Amino acid sequence: MIKRIRFAARRDNVAPDAFIDALCDALAKAARAGKNAQPVRTTLCVTLPDVEGCDARHDAITLEWFDGAAHLERFDRWREGDDGADYERRIDHLLSPSASALVVAEEHVMRGADWLDERWREGGPRFKHMAVALRAEDLTQAEFSDLWVSRAGQVRASGAATATVIPDVARGLAYAQNHPTARAHGDWPYDAVNEVWFDDLEALAARVQFFAETLGGQTEDDLVRENWFVVAREEVITA
């Protein structure tokens, strides 16, 4: 699956509730795109800035799934045509350009595929712990992706000789890595986005505590040069 991940920061003149409502409306419109262009699935993650461990540089994160590059190309043609132009206009009027970002990535479900299948069928809200990162300076995107996959389920603190296995209490119900797709020129704004799902915030708090204790506010410096965590409430817009 390919995912179109938008990190959305609202303009100062847009009220928080109006921002989320308008994002939902825009995503619902895209879900009705014709000519087999509509996303397979769409979700909206509203960040929870008052929760410990949440970086609130973005107000929301939208995710749209596609079956492959050809499907995404159909969606892009719809966005650029008359029918889809309103979708882009609605979002542009909401977002702060300097504080928002877009990443197109290939999804790798590392754990919990069956749980995720049921989650998409059931819909409703769930909670997510997400990490966003920029790769270490000495790694190419391909090198970083390979190392990140090999590190799944582990954390290596700065200066540590070995990695620490993430305990069951902090692993969540499902885990996915999103690896940015290749671009003809330059890189996407972020090199890694991961997602870990929970049924409630109490369970998620155990993961927040584990990372705080293990990393001590530092990064996995052999892997990333900068990273931050996001706590969000995810709603399924279309499944």
pLDDT of residue 160: 80
Domain boundaries, the chain: 2-237
Q: Which helix (H) or strand (E) holds 16?
A: helix 16-30
pLDDT of residue 186: 85
Phi-psi region at 49: left, alpha or beta (left = phi > 0; alpha = psi -120 to 50): alpha
pLDDT of residue 40: 95
For 10-62, the pLDDT digits (tens) are 999 999 999 999 999 999 888 888 779 999 999 999 999 988 888 888 999 99
Burial class (CB in 10 A: 0-12, 13-18, 19+), 182: exposed
Topology at the third CATH level for domain 2-237: Alpha-Beta Plaits (3.30.70)
Burial class (CB in 10 A: 0-12, 13-18, 19+), 10: buried
Q: Which helix (H) or strand (E) holds 141?
A: helix 141-150
CA separation, residue 214 to residues 41, 56, 230 (Å): 34, 22, 17
Stretches in the chain below the pLDDT threshold 50: none
* Pair 122, 28: CB distance under 8 Å: no
Measured distance CA(56)–CA(58) in Å, rounded: 5
